[in-house]
A and B are shown apart, each in its own frame.
Chain A
């Protein structure tokens, strides 16, 4: 399995509070991704990074920001959490953006916003 960890694995927070989720990889892959998974919607891309300090938006980026100061870490921040952001968040990594390049996923973080 790819060396990907996510922290925390579970979090309960209140509406309006800031939340930061961390993805850590030991594979030295250039690309990192944040997805959210909700019933009826599959996995949807939030943001991705193509290198240190290089990030871009995915299809559901509103309300989220990201940062990547080191190759191994990709942080997802909910500046002011809302109940609609209750979800399971998955981090993924890949060596490149080529279509034949596989993305490997982390174990996920379950976030509940009350």
Chain B
């Protein structure tokens, strides 16, 4: 199973871009990279996912390196409400179905 490595915490100034890195050096060719976030006491919230190409939606952008061994989630204009734990997940399939394996994540603190 492809594991992910994320910094445990990061700070970002309100209004600035937040760039959250993730390493997944053992990722397989058909495994997707997913990003979720969890605001305190709430359920995980889907942000974005990608396979090879960079992706953008209304919430964020996902930049995946050409070798797919790392990725960066970009929140273009962070707000205080973006303070949360962000999880980078490599989606794999095993005998328990298409489970999502959440690691420790990055605790992002957006400061005024």
Binding site for B on A (CB under 8 A): 4, 31, 33, 37, 42-43, 45, 48, 50, 56-59, 90, 92, 94, 97-108
List residues of chain B with CB within 8 A of the CB of A43.
Answer: 44, 100-102
23 contacting pairs across A/B (C-beta < 8 A) = A31-B98, A33-B97, A43-B44, A43-B100, A48-B96, A48-B97, A48-B99, A56-B97, A57-B96, A59-B99, A90-B43, A97-B93, A97-B98, A98-B98, A99-B98, A100-B51, A101-B98, A102-B34, A102-B49, A103-B46, A104-B46, A105-B36, A108-B42
User: Chain B interface mostly helix, strand, loop or mixed?
Assistant: loop
State the CA gap A56–B34 with chains docked (Å): 23
What band does the interface of chain B fall in when counting residues whose beta carbon is under 8 Å from A? 20 to 34
List residues of chain A with CB within 8 A of the CB of B99.
Answer: 33, 45, 48, 58-59
State the CA gap A90–B44 with chains docked (Å): 9
List residues of chain B with CB within 8 A of the CB of A104.
Answer: 46
Residue of B43, B97, B103 touching A105 (CB-CB under 8 A) = B43
Binding site for A on B (CB under 8 A): 30-32, 34, 36, 41-46, 49, 51, 87, 91-93, 96-105
8 new A-B pairs (CB below 8 Å) besides A58-B96, A102-B46? Answer: A33-B99, A42-B103, A43-B102, A56-B97, A59-B99, A99-B93, A100-B51, A105-B36
* Smallest CB gap from B50: residue in A: A100
Number of CB contacts from chain A to chain B under 8 A: 68
Q: Which of B43, B92, B96, B101 has the most CB of A within 10 A?
A: B43
User: Chain A interface mostly helix, strand, loop or mixed?
Assistant: strand
Q: Looking at the assembled complex, report how far the CB atom of B38 sits from the nearest CB atom of chain A, in whole angstroms.
A: 9
List residues of chain A with CB within 8 A of the CB of B87.
Answer: 42
Q: Looking at the assembled complex, report how far the CB atom of A24 sits from the nearest CB atom of chain B, in whole angstroms.
A: 14
* Smallest CB gap from B36: residue in A: A105
Q: Is the CB of A42 within 8 A of B101?
A: yes
List residues of chain A with CB within 8 A of the CB of B34.
Answer: 102
Q: Looking at the assembled complex, report how far the CB atom of B13 sits from the nearest CB atom of chain A, in whole angstroms.
A: 28
Q: Is the CB of A107 within 8 A of B32?
A: no
Q: Is the CB of A99 within 8 A of B91?
A: yes
